[in-house]
Every structure is written in C-alpha cells, then in structure tokens.
Amino acid sequence: MTDDERVNEKELRVQVNRQISCGISGIFALGTNGECYALTVQEKLDVIKIVVDETRGRVPVYAGTGCISTGETIWMSRQAKELGVDVLSIISPYFVAVSQDDIYRHYSKIAESVDLPIVLYNMPARTGNNIEYTTVLKLAKYPNIVGIKDSSGNFDNTLRYIENTDRRLSVLAGSDSLILWTLLAGGRGAIAGTANVYPEIAVSIYKLWQTGRIEEANQQQARLRPLRDVLKFGNPNSVIKRAMNLLGHPVGPAREPVGGTSQKVDDELRKAFEFYK
C-alpha cells in the first residue's frame, strides 16, 4: 500500500521480482498476508492483473478467490482464470456458521464450475470452521482439487490430511513453524507468510529437505522462530508489513483498523532482526 492506503503497483511489482529472485516456487496474490479481506472487488482484480503481468510465467501464480458465498467465489474464480492465474486458493466460508456438508457442497460447486487447479485453504482461527479430513477425502474425487493449505497450527490435523485423505493431494504447511515437519511427514511444501520478509530462509528449508540435509534444514526452520514470536504483538500481516518496512522494503501500512504502528512491535522486531545478521 501507499501511505494513503492505495494499492502500490510499483512496489508490488518490485516484491514479485524479489520473491522470484530468491528462488520461491510460486507467487500467491490475495492471501491473508495480502489483505484480501480489506480490498474491494476491483482492487482484487487489479492486484491479480499486476501480479500475473509481472510474473510473466516464470513461476505459477496462485490467487485467493474465496468469498463468503459460493456464487461470489465462483464469479471471482472465473475472473481470476480470465486474468491468467494458474491456481486458485480458496479459503472456506467465513462469518457464516457452516457444517461439513455445507463446506462439501461449497467446494463441489466451485470445482464443477471452474476449470483450474484448486488448493483448499483451512484457517479455522479466522473462519470459525475446520475443514475436516473426512470432507477433504470426499472432495478428492474432483481432479481439479489438487491440495490443501493447513493454517490450523494443529499438526495432527495436517497429519490427517496427509495420512487419511488421498496421496494425490498436496498438503501444504500454512503455519510457518511446521514447514519442515510437514515435508518430513509427506507434505509437499508451504505457503509461508514469513517468506514476505525472509524468502531465502523458506526456500532453503525446502531445498535442504529435498537433498536430505535434514539437520541443516532444521537449523533454517529454527531461524524463523524469532520473527514468528513477534506476530503475537499485533495482527500478523500488519507485523509482517512493518518488518518489511523496517528492513527497507516500502510496502506501506496495512489497511485500517490495523495499520497503526506500535513502539512495542518495532522494538520486538529490531530485537528479532539481530538473529538474522
């Protein structure tokens, strides 16, 4: 964002190239760190256009298109496809009280309506519901449902997705403290919020795991802890943005009501930065 809370196209393009230059495997636009909850529909479409354009096919582009209603999610997903997105990330419905049957119908209708790979997105702390592994197993019958990002922070929940659904599905860590452990358990990767700040660390965990250098991968996994420990002092994506700003990446504030700065957050971030020198 700019200081007056407009989408900063110039810096967004810079960050896309920064991520790719650090070796990431994909760009995820409109995730929770991307403030999808705070953007208008037109702004979401503009962000997708910018990211797809700047990525230029170098890595896959994921876009978060999940909305509260099934109909709006289908519409947004179709728009994303037209704009050139490679993969949809669809968070479960939020605000409304939904059953597992509701969640199943929601994703079934989307899978039947949009011809793109879909990664389910489980974030119960923010949505108020957990996508149960039994529901994921039923949804695995749709070939374009290709995986699930688990941001529950409950490793047993992640294990259920890996062990008790369908091995075809890619299970991705959404809690950055569990990247290596998800990979070791049979997961395929992570969508990491802290990679906005230190993409090279997230990349190194994956590459070290790939080559069997587990102790070194564990050392890199542990390096994320100081930054993650600061997230509790504010809204996580606001803290991530503040960290980037303090490190010289002018990504601006998060949108209000969580855009303010805090001396406590700044002090804790500066302490954390000492671990990365």
At 185-225, the pLDDT tens digits run: 999 999 999 999 999 999 999 999 999 999 999 999 999 99
Average pLDDT over residues 229-254: 95
CB 97 within 8 A of CB 74: no
At 204-215, the pLDDT tens digits run: 999 999 999 999
| Tokens at 150, concatenated | 């688990």
Q: Residue 145 phi/psi, 5° resolution?
A: -90, 110
Q: How many CB atoms sit inside 10 A of residue 68's CB?
A: 15
| Angle between helices 41-55 and 70-82 in degrees, nearest 10 | 30
Average pLDDT over residues 85-108: 97
Percent of the chain past pLDDT 70, that is, above it, reads 100
Residue 261 has pLDDT above 90, yes or no: no
159 against 277, higher pLDDT: 159
Residue 277's pLDDT is what?
85
Q: Which amino acid is located at 255 in the chain?
A: R
Instruction: Give the span between the Cα atoms of 261 and 269, in whole angstroms.
Output: 12
Closest listed residue to residue 108, CA positions, set 126, 129, 92, 86: 92
Question: Collapsing DSSP states into helix, strand and coil, what is residue 131?
Answer: coil
Residue 33's pLDDT is what?
86
At 12-65, the pLDDT tens digits run: 999 999 999 999 999 999 998 889 899 999 999 999 999 999 999 999 999 999
Which residues, in sequence order, are CB contacts of 254 under 8 Å at separation 6+? Answer: 1, 35, 38, 235, 237, 238, 241
Average pLDDT over residues 118-124: 97
Average pLDDT over residues 64-80: 97
Q: Which sequence positions are flagged as catalytic?
A: 121, 149
Instruction: Give the span between the Cα atoms of 220 and 203, in whole angstroms.
Output: 10
> What radius of gyration, in Å, describes the C-alpha atoms of the chain?
18
Percent of the chain past pLDDT 90, that is, above it, reads 96
Average pLDDT over residues 96-103: 96
Q: Which amino acid is located at 166 in the chain?
A: D
Residue 182 has pLDDT above 90, yes or no: yes
Residue 267's pLDDT is what?
96
**28 strand-pairing partners:** 62
Closest listed residue to residue 237, CA positions, set 226, 251, 248: 251
What is the average pLDDT value for the chain, to the nearest integer?
A: 96
Residue 70 has pLDDT above 90, yes or no: yes
Average pLDDT over residues 112-117: 98
Residue 119 has pLDDT above 90, yes or no: yes
Strands 118-122 and 61-64: unpaired
Residue 260 has pLDDT above 90, yes or no: no
pLDDT band for position 113 (cuts 50, 70, 90): very high
Closest listed residue to residue 62, CA positions, set 35, 36, 30: 30
Average pLDDT over residues 243-256: 96
Which fold, 9-213?
A: TIM Barrel (3.20.20)
